[in-house]
Amino acid sequence: MTTRNKPRLDWTMVLRRRPVRIVDGRAEGGYTDEFEIVCGDCGDDPELDYREVSPELRRIRGPYPMAAGVTAYLRHARQHPGPAGGHQPGRRPKGPEIKEAP
């Protein structure tokens, strides 16, 4: 029996370079020149290979060339409301004001 009780980063969606394949949750064989979206809010799991996810998640994943991937990422992110006070795609989160040194 395999369990996935490893600690996870606090993320919901990522645009990443597409691995050639994923075996036991790890990229093997290097990476392609394409990018893919992995969306945890839609039920996707970054440890699963493209062939292991549903057709619906494959449509979200892509693959995309870099520029099209960024556009698809921003478009998809708008479908998921963020937490109150969270940042919106394409905008920097509010933080402490940083002043440049003279």
Give Rg (Cα) of the chain.
16
Give CA–CA dist 74/64, Å, rounded.
13
For the whole prediction, is pTM greater than 0.95?
A: no
74 close to 89: Cβ distance less than 8 angstroms? yes
Please name the residues in contact with 65: beta carbons below 8 A apart, sequence gap of 6 or more: 33, 34, 35
How confident is the model at residue 18, as a pLDDT? 86
**Please, is 29 exposed, middle or buried when counting C-beta atoms within 10 Å of its C-beta (0-12, 13-18, 19+)?**
exposed
How confident is the model at residue 87, as a pLDDT? 39
**Token pair listed for 12:** 């919901």
Q: Kindly list the domain boundaries of the chain, sorted by start residue.
A: 13-77
Give CA–CA dist 28/92, Å, rounded.
33
pLDDT 10s per residue in the chain (102 long)? 344 444 455 668 999 888 877 888 777 787 888 999 999 889 999 888 888 899 999 999 999 999 999 999 999 998 887 654 333 444 444 444 444 455
